[in-house]
A and B are shown apart, each in its own frame.
Chain A
Amino acid sequence: MSTRHDAHVLIVGGGATGGGLAHDLTLRGLRVTLLDRGEVTSGTSGRHHGLLHSGARYAVGDREAGVECIRENTILKRIAPGTFECNDGLFVAVCDEDLDYLEPLVEGCTGAGIPAQRLNASEALRLEPNLNPDLKVAVRVPDATVDPMRLILRFFATARHNGADIRPYMEVIGLLAHDGVVTGAAVHDHVTGKEGEIHADLVVNAAGPWSEQVAAMAGAKVPMTPSPGVLLALRGRYCNMVINRMHKSGDGDIVVPQRGLSIVGTTSWVVEDPDDLSVPEDHVERMYAEGSKLIPALRHAPRRAAWSAARPLVGSAGAASGRELSRTFQTFDHAEQDGIDGFVTITGGKATTLRGMAELCADVVCRKLGIDEPCRTHETVLLPHTAYYSEALAA
């Protein structure tokens, strides 16, 4: 067994994926540097609706994703205590057509090991009095809500405390390569305005919807289809639980409470450039219309913000809406795929499964570097998010 614990891994991208990976690799004893062109979580990871999936949303169409979600949901609640609103979620049927989804949902959840409990209308309305009074039936599942940035900051805080060098405002402007091996990155430091180079034994591309652009710097191919969705934040907290529409995944099928706001999501289309996201007003209107089918009072709730976030879906262009592309993640070892060594891409996935994604990617990284160390992230309680900013708060 060869070990190279002085091995230096450079991670490009400070989102959920990079944060989870920096934490995992640091726990396995590697030296880690992580770069982001802006603040950490300034891409897709900070912008999602704040749902910690139970897996129920995937249990009907994609049981594997459902199993993944409930496993990671349970682990995250254990390693990040105090970060989640553990109020569960409801899938609600608001019309007869929705009832067609009831049996598949309950069966799917049971098959995936997701606790699911049928509630009649009056039980659901006692839990959530602002729900559509015409609701037919509800299913309660262990969804939870989270402040997306703070959860990910806990991974960064712990990684940093364990020695990782986390460098926001450090943009990768090129990848360094010699004889078909990636050896580091050329960077622009937005704090000083200066350029420089960072050398590493292995570079991991964790740039989410920007992965294709980063891979191209090394001449490698990663087929990404950035798929934006519009989310709408309304003033007023109208529910404590996550409210899902009881039908297959579609526009405006979820309301997530977040402090004094209600977040309605989401739509789905595809773009080429994840930096060029618009917020079409008709999508905002659709969020109002669909959200108020779940909670009628949302129809007149004042708008606080509307924004877009690009899902990092793996797959090639040609998909129309992005909903037909898998929500699962993929690791590319570019030595096998493009003949470029020292370079790995991890992309796709969703925030709920960030720890599991990081584990599998860290396995690939360690195998390439000849390091034999087990993953310990599932049993390591994370530092509070405030410890990211100040070592004094790490206790």
Chain B
Amino acid sequence: MSEEKLPPGGPAVTQTGHEDTRRFRVYRYKRGDGGERFDEFEVPVGPHTTVLDALRWIKQHEDPSLALRFSCLHASCGTCGMQVDGHEELACVCSVQDHGEQITVEPLANLPVLTDLVVEMDGFFRRFPHEHPIIRSSGCPSEGEDGEAHLEGGHEVTLDLPSLVPLHHHPLHHHHRAATPAVDFVRLEDCIECGLCLSACPVAATSHDYVGPAALAAAERLLEEPRGVEREDVLAWANRPEGVWRCHVGLECTRACPADAIPAERIMALRRELMFGDSDDEEGKR
């Protein structure tokens, strides 16, 4: 028995009793190495094997020089974005069973490749509006990934209890009344900053100064819940040729988003606000 042959993410044997495998075509590039290429690997897979499981198996058993970016393994950190058969995916939740016998894996587009499947994220983060807090109040729209609100009205609970944690420790509570017995819940923003939307965006492919969907969606979240940021600053930041007006409404960003942050809808909301909102800044209207 060869332990090495155990597939990642579950048992090797399919319902028919045969060992299941996939052929992976993996993009390779090393700096100073001259040129890119694809390497091929045969990987045993099980019913729950993900593309990331398979790539880590390759790294462990076939080619330790394969460089990968990953961290949380459950679609929360946003590090393992890549193109799988030409579509943007988080490799950690991309099942090999949803793909064919041969699976082609390439790095994200519209960002420079650092090595193999790893892109440089600096350019992604530099596009964001300068202030974009990641903690927001809970109970906002777009709860849950199935589009259902699992916590209806769960934003604030009035309970006749003293607060456990002094309110000033709560990041959102600077200007809240001090001695309320209400409990305000907070949560992390939906966007996991994975870069899938920027990679999928057809406009970003040809317009390198376009700030892109994730940054614009973050700006729109600030309009929805400013958290100390000036609305007018956000609108002015978005109201540029390389900002909200560059989008061609291809909707690829929203298709690619693994966290239901709905960037396309937020870009349109920003436009609506700039065109019809009650902004004092007349220059900001079209």
Contacts and interface: CB of A to CB of B under 8 A. Distances in A.
B74 A261 contact: yes
A77 B150 contact: no
A153 to B, nearest CB: 10
Interface stretch (A213-221, A300-308, A310-318): A300-308
B72 A191 contact: no
Nearest to B126: A390
Contacts of B30: 190-193
A83 interface: yes
Interface stretch (B19-27, B141-149, B238-246): B141-149
Interface in A67-113: 77-78, 81-88
Contacts of B259: 259-260
A87 B10 CA distance: 35
Given A82-B134, A83-B135, A127-B157, A237 B143 contact: yes
Contact of A393 (B125, B143, B185, B186): B125
A307 B73 contact: yes
Contacts of A167: none
Given A82-B171, A115-B164, A240-B185, A130 B76 contact: no
A46 B78 CA distance: 11
Nearest to B30: A193
A150 B134 contact: yes
Contact of A47 (B72, B143, B146, B162): B72
A129 B159 CA distance: 13
Contact of B169 (A86, A259, A279): A86
A115 B207 CA distance: 54
B277 interface: no
Given A115-B164, A193-B33, A147 B144 contact: no
A38 B151 contact: no
Contacts of A348: none
A258 B118 CA distance: 25
A150 B135 CA distance: 12
The secondary-structure label for the interface of chain B is: loop
Contact of A42 (B70, B144, B187, B192): B70
B48 interface: yes
Interface in A267-282: 275-276, 278-279, 281
A126 B157 contact: yes
A236 B65 contact: no
Interface in B98-125: 114-116, 118, 121-122, 124-125
B133 interface: yes
Interface residues of A, number: 74
A3 interface: no
B154 interface: yes
A372 interface: no
Given A39-B69, A169-B118, A192-B32, A260 B186 contact: no
A123 B77 contact: no
B115 A190 contact: yes
A337 interface: no
Contacts of B6: 278
A263 interface: yes
A307 B74 contact: yes
B70 A386 contact: no
A241 B164 CA distance: 13
A41 B79 CA distance: 10
A231 interface: yes
Contact of B154 (A129, A169, A279): A129
A386 B125 contact: yes
Contact of B48 (A149, A306, A385): A306
A387 to B, nearest CB: 9
Contact of A39 (B50, B71, B125): B71
A39 B52 CA distance: 14
Given A83-B134, A231-B74, A393-B126, A238 B32 contact: no
Contacts of A81: 171
A249 interface: no
B118 A194 contact: no
Contacts of B145: 235-236, 260-261, 304
A38 B77 CA distance: 15
B260 interface: yes
Interface in B166-196: 169-171, 183, 185-190, 192-193
Contacts of A191: 30-31, 67, 114-115
Contacts of A115: 164-165
Contact of A87 (B77, B146, B185): B185
A279 B74 CA distance: 13
B161 interface: yes
Contacts of A85: 135, 138, 185-188
A40 B192 CA distance: 17
A263 to B, nearest CB: 7
Contacts of B65: 188, 190, 193
A389 B122 contact: yes
Contacts of B75: 233, 261, 304-305
B203 interface: no
B161 A123 contact: yes
Contact of B93 (A46, A263, A304): A304
7 contacts: A38-B70, A39-B71, A47-B71, A191-B114, A238-B151, A260-B260, A304-B75
Interface of B: 3, 6, 9-11, 30-33, 48, 50, 60, 65, 67-77, 79, 92-93, 114-116, 118, 121-122, 124-126, 128, 130, 133-135, 138, 142-146, 148, 150-151, 154, 157, 159, 161-162, 164-165, 169-171, 183, 185-190, 192-193, 259-260
Given A38-B68, A46-B70, A84-B135, 4 more contacts: A82-B171, A237-B151, A281-B10, A393-B126
> What 3 pairs across the A-B complex have the smallest Cβ distances?
A46-B71, A305-B74, A307-B73
